[in-house]
Amino acid sequence: MPSLKDLGGVSSFFNSILPQISTDKTIVSTFEIGSTKGQNNMLYPLTDQLRFHNTIKNLKPDLVHINPSLNLKSFIRDGLFILQAKQKGLPIIVFFRGWEKKFENIVKKKLLWFFRLTYGQADTFIVLANEFREVLLQWGIRRPIHIGTTTVDELLVKNFSVSNKIVQINSTKEIKILFLARLEKEKGVYETIDAVASLIQKGISVSLSIAGDGEIMDELKQYAGKHNIPNNRICFLGYIRNNDKISAFTEHHIYCFPTYYSEGLPNSLLEAMAFGLPIITRPVGGIADFFKDEKMGLLVHRKCSEE
C-alpha cells in the first residue's frame, strides 16, 4: 500500500480497518510502496521490487494482500509483486482499488497475456463494482470475485446526530452545497459550478464550497469568476481532513459529485451519506450498484454539458 500518511482512498481505507483486524491471532504487516517511500528516487519502481522480495523472504507471511489500480503504473508493478509471491507459493488476495476504463481497453487489446500470467494466478479478487467483476470474468478469471466497498472512519461521525442534521436542513434559508474530491475535470467540479451559477441566476439562495486540491485550482477560481458568482457564494477550502472535514460535512446541506471519472467507490460519497447529506452524483463504478435514486439523493445520467 502507499504510506499511511499519504492522501487518498487506499491510505484512508487501511487507516480505518487496520485497528479492527490487528489482533493477537492476526498480525498485519504493511509494505509501503511508491514515490513517497522512495523519497523521489527515480529508481523506486525497481527498489520496490527488491524490497518486496526481501520482505516476503524474511517475513514469511501466510497471506499477501495487494491493492492495485487498473492503470499502467500499478498494473505492471503489482503484477510483478504477484509473480514474486507465487514463486514463494503464497496465497494472494487482489483488491482492485481504481479502475481506468481507457486502460481496461489497453489490457483487453494488448496486455491480456500479462494479466493472465500475473493476476491470473491470484487466489481471490475484490472489486468495487459489479461491472469490474464482469470484466474479470471475461478475462478468464475463475477464482472467487467479491464485490467490496470502501469505508468511513467511525471517528468522523462519532458525535454526529441525524436528527439535528434534519432540523438544520429544514430550517436553512441558504442551501449550502459541498463538492469534496481531488480537483480534476472528470470529477464534475466544472459542472457543479455551472449548476450553482444557474441557481443563483434564478434567484435561489445557494452557496458552494469546493474542498480539495489539484492542478486546476487557479483555473477553477477564474472559471467561477467568469460566471459572476459573488465571493460570498463560493468558497475554496483546499484539501481538508480530520476536524475540518467534519465541519464541512456538518455545515453543508447537499453533497454534489457529478463525476464521470473512472471511479471505484469514492470514500467522500460514503462519508457525505454518513453525515446525512442528500447526494447528487452519477452512476459510475460502484455508485451504480448501491445508490438508490430519489431515496439517497439524485442520479444524473448525463453530463450537465450534454443537457
pLDDT for residue 202: 94
Q: Exposure of 20 by Cβ count < 10 A (0-12 exposed, 13-18 middle, 19+ buried)?
A: exposed
Confidence of residue 307 (pLDDT cuts 50, 70, 90): very low
Q: Could you tell me the pLDDT band of residue 145, with boundaries at 50, 70 and 90?
A: very high
287: pLDDT strictly greater than 90: yes
**Residues in CB range of 206: below 8 A, 6 or more apart:** 174, 175, 176, 177, 196, 199, 200, 233
Q: What is the percentage of the chain residues whose pLDDT exceeds 90? A: 69
User: Does 301 or 94 have the greater pLDDT score?
Assistant: 94
Q: CA 297, CA 129: separation in Å to the nearest integer?
A: 19
- Looking at every residue in the chain, the average pLDDT score rounds to 90
Could you give the CA distance from residue 34 to residue 30 in angstroms, rounded to a whole number? 13
User: What value does the mean pLDDT take over residues 86-102?
Assistant: 94
Q: What is the DSSP letter of 110?
A: I
pLDDT at res. 9:
74
The number of helices, as runs of H, and strands, as runs of E, in the chain is 12, 12
- Mean pLDDT value of segment 12-40: 78
**What's the confidence (pLDDT) of residue 36?**
56
CA separation (Å) from 110 to 57, 116, 141, 210?
32, 12, 17, 39
Confidence class of residue 70 from pLDDT cuts 50, 70 and 90? very high
Q: Is the pLDDT of residue 37 over 70?
A: no
| Mean pLDDT of all residues in 136-147 | 96
* Lowest mean per-residue pLDDT among 38-47, 66-75, 168-177, 201-210: 38-47
Nearest-angstrom CA–CA distance, 301 and 295: 16
Q: Check if the beta carbon of residue 231 is closer than 8 Å to that of residue 164.
A: no
Query: In Å, what is the CA distance from 4 to each residue of 40, 74, 277?
Result: 17, 17, 28
Given a cut of 90, whether residue 10 has pLDDT beyond it is no
- Taking the model in full, what pTM does it have? 0.84
pLDDT in tens, 150-190: 888 888 898 999 999 999 988 989 999 999 999 999 999 99
**pLDDT tens-place string over residues 100-138:** 999 999 999 999 999 999 999 999 999 999 999 999 999
Closest by Cα among 82, 83, 62, 79 to 70:
79
Span 50-63, average pLDDT: 95
pLDDT score for 270: 93
